[in-house]
Copies of this chain bind each other. A is one copy, B any other.
């Protein structure tokens, strides 16, 4: 049954058939159409028993004495791209934020803001891929909401996800814990997500070669933590603003300097080529399937070995080190022997990338 068939007896005018396949403003009314949208397009995919109760709030079991909580809105344009879509990005992004704090992701809530006129088939595909990625990650989608706004008052679909994670033991990581002497590791090549979105949106012609790196990183984090007996100081997924912005935030939060070695930073050929065309620096390009780890020098080899032993981290490498000099600053030692400051960007290199 489709949402439009719910109108049945109550509808005065027959709905044009093209309208039957799109989201209507009435789907956001809180009435029968809303109920049909949820019943026919959301719940067939999101099958958590807790969600199906449709209470005002989900009630879920918890354990331990602390929770990790993270929230993000996703406004990526286009909604679908090589390697993923806005829904997968939301699930992975939220899982990764929890994983970066050292938590095990357990529950996700999802809220959709839908522009009137969105094709229901598009919504169905996105909801289905969210359900798939959550199931693969072992995370339950437990609560949700849908709102519909008039045509021209949004851009297809915005997705906001909130994640709840639990802690397994005493391990915590965080941006304030970097220490001079730490080795800076990146779990894989940088810039793939951002350049995939840019190439798809701008029609650069790299779409065949570029694929978003979007992935749920908590299994890789778990392996790293176990291999290093929890000696990891900082983990951060360099999304919006890229590696440069993430490292600047860590340098400021921990009051340390960070020195990068340009030649060691892994960038794939198509990403590099697309960056050249657009005049972008890969260090500022968003990633959705890699993370930065800072570990004591003594644990660096074990950390790299652990990362490389997992399919998500085969190309992990050292890219720099944490210093007591230049606190709050990120420096790049360039291939030709010079060095320059890697600042945060002032503004809008890449809008709507996640």
**Chain A residues within 8 Å of B, Cβ to Cβ:** 6-7, 10-11, 24-26, 28-35, 53-75, 96-98, 100-101, 103, 107, 109-113, 142-150, 152-155, 158, 160, 162-165, 167, 172, 174-176, 236-237, 239-242, 245, 249, 253, 284, 286, 343-352
Binding site of A, secondary structure by majority: helix, strand, loop or mixed?
A: mixed
List B contacts of A345 (CB < 8 A).
29-32
Is A71's CB under 8 angstroms from B160's CB?
yes
Assess A57 versus B145: contact at CB under 8 Å? Given A29-B345, A71-B111, A241-B30: no
Is A241's CB under 8 angstroms from B29's CB?
yes
Is A69's CB under 8 angstroms from B31's CB?
no
Is B71's CB under 8 angstroms from A346's CB?
no
Report A352 CB to chain B, min CB distance, Å. Answer: 6
**The residue from B31, B56, B145, B245 contacting A98, defined by CB atoms under 8 A apart:** B56
Is A70's CB under 8 angstroms from B57's CB?
yes
Closest to A345 in B: B31
Is B346's CB under 8 angstroms from A56's CB?
no
Is B351's CB under 8 angstroms from A56's CB?
no
List B contacts of A176 (CB < 8 A).
53
List B contacts of A111 (CB < 8 A).
71-73, 160, 162
